Structure 1
Amino acid sequence: MPEAKNGSESGTAKPRRRQARGERRIAQLLEAAANVFCTTGYSGASTNSIAREAGVSPGTLYQFFPNKEAIAVELGDHLLTRWRATYGQAFTPAHLELPLDQLLDAVLDPLIQFNFENPAFGVLMHGPDIPGQVTREHDALHSSMLTRVEEVLAGYLPATPEPDITRVAHTVFAVFKAGMDLILAAEPAERDAYTTELKAVLFRYLDPLVGDC
């Protein structure tokens, strides 16, 4: 009986080890895909280039992903999950009680930092020929974030008509996206300066609206 018990324990341990190795391999392939997508763009990437970046054979890659699209969908899901967590931490009730200049720091800094740490996010969310599932999930997240900004503005400006709130929220979003493009494209030594400029633009736009609230 003891031998049978040991055999059972061994039988359950091996699949766990295989599963852990598989998860590490998937993480390795996703990291390689992110690097390749940033270098060549999604359209210019191939499963062979991703396998080469990961240091594995194409056959090993195909054990986990049938094609490049499946890799992009998996990577997009991971990045969107992290992005949801990041903007959830940015829009906390405590942050919304801060003065406007401090509020902009508290909200924008983690969002900007996320884009620095995950350059593949911009490639997958905004590049051409991206799998439809990724763009649909991104569009849904974008819509939820826009709604959140509208809710925050409505709390500051309860007497403002809803169409005006929506227009201000869309403007804030457009300014943030344009500023984010400038920051990411800037030389490292200039990024802080561009970040400061983005915050200044948003402050000067929002302060006349909410500064006294």
Structure 2
Amino acid sequence: MTNRSCLSSKGGESPTKSMRRSPKQQRGKQRVEKILDAAAEVFAEVGYDAATTHAIATRANTAVGSLYQFFPDKAAIFRALEIRHVERVRAMWAKLDKPSIIQLPLRQMIQQLVAAVAKLFEQPTSRVVFVQFFTAPEIFQTIDESLTQEAIAFMASLLKQRHPTLSDERASLLAEVCVHCSNTLILIALRSSETHSQQLIQQIEDLLVSYLSPHVGDEVLQSEVMKVMICPHCQSERLSKNGHRHGKQRYLCKDCGKQFPAWKGALP
């Protein structure tokens, strides 16, 4: 098991710091994006050491002189890819950190998380940055292992939101195991055939669900909720789960027969 993470950075530097000049017009911005897309493909195919700025320019269908207008060397190009990857990772986190996802049944919540990560790694930039970080960490200028803690803190936050009575220490430990195990399998998946890669992604989902169920699974949360739930209509404590609506768990009172969402039955 590795102690590296795909989600780590040294301080959130701007991409312009790795560039000779920043494009002002849309045409220049599009050219830079083409260069970065091409670089990700070249680095993925031949590795960082064998890649050249001429090969990247050729793949981007641009003159090498145009490439040098923006990037002084391939190290600057790779650094821009690092920053691009981190920006995309943080955008992914922002989309996942929502009650509508966190409050889903555990299997569905994990499916959302794993699907988002799988989609991230459909992009050549994230694939090459992730693999190179494990195989050639010395080339990195922006990403380092500090993002491992950021990833763990993010996952711990999701678990705490899902199960507020979890201690910070327990949430952090659960998150640490989830991040490290997932990263290990992701690395293998990215270096495998498409079929085997898909199988491993599914195993990540099954692994996380099995591991987290005793701690933040549906039955655990149901037990915790039922301890502090009463029917808002008749104050009965005899309740049963009755499906979800708009991402919220609903309950059925066994005495009066009325339904209500979890928050309406919570004791003050």
SS at match of 2:122: helix
- Return the alpha-carbon distance in structure 2 between the equivalents of residues 108 and 144 of structure 1: 18
SS at match of 1:66: coil
Q: CA RMSD in A?
A: 2.4
- Return the alpha-carbon distance in structure 2 between the equivalents of residues 196 and 120 of structure 1: 21
Equivalent of residue 50 in structure 1, options 56, 75, 90: 56
List, as ranges, runs of 4+ consecutive aligned residues in structure 1 with deviation greater than 6 Å. Answer: none
Instruction: Report if the CA contact (8 A) 1:37-1:123 is conserved.
Output: no
SS at match of 1:163: helix
Equivalent of residue 73 in structure 2, options 45, 67, 80: 67
TM-score by length of structure 1 reads 0.80
Equivalent of residue 103 in structure 1, options 97, 109, 112: 109
Gapped runs of 5+ residues in structure 2? 1-22, 222-268
Instruction: Report if the CA contact (8 A) 2:151-2:179 is conserved.
Output: no
- 1:128 aligns with 136
Cα 1:22–1:130, aligned 2, differ >3 Å: closer, same or farther? farther
Counterpart code for 1:19:
Q
Question: How many residues matched?
Answer: 195
TM-score by length of structure 2 reads 0.65
- 1:40 aligns with 46
Cα 1:52–1:170, aligned 2, differ >3 Å: closer, same or farther? same
SS at match of 1:98: coil
- Return the alpha-carbon distance in structure 1 between the equivalents of residues 87 and 68 of structure 2: 24
> Which whole-Å deviations, capped at 9, do the CAs of 1:141-177 have from their partners, x for residues lacking one?
4432211211222344444443333221110111111
- 1:83 aligns with 89
- Percent identical among aligned pairs is 25
- 2:183 aligns with 177
- 1:198 aligns with 204
- Return the alpha-carbon distance in structure 1 between the equivalents of residues 90 and 79 of structure 2: 16
Counterpart code for 1:202:
L
- Return the alpha-carbon distance in structure 1 between the equivalents of residues 196 and 94 of structure 2: 28
Q: Does 1:29 pair with 2:35?
A: yes
Counterpart code for 2:190:
L
Higher helix share: 1
| Cα displacement (A) at 1:74 | 1.6
- Return the alpha-carbon distance in structure 2 between the equivalents of residues 132 and 183 of structure 1: 22
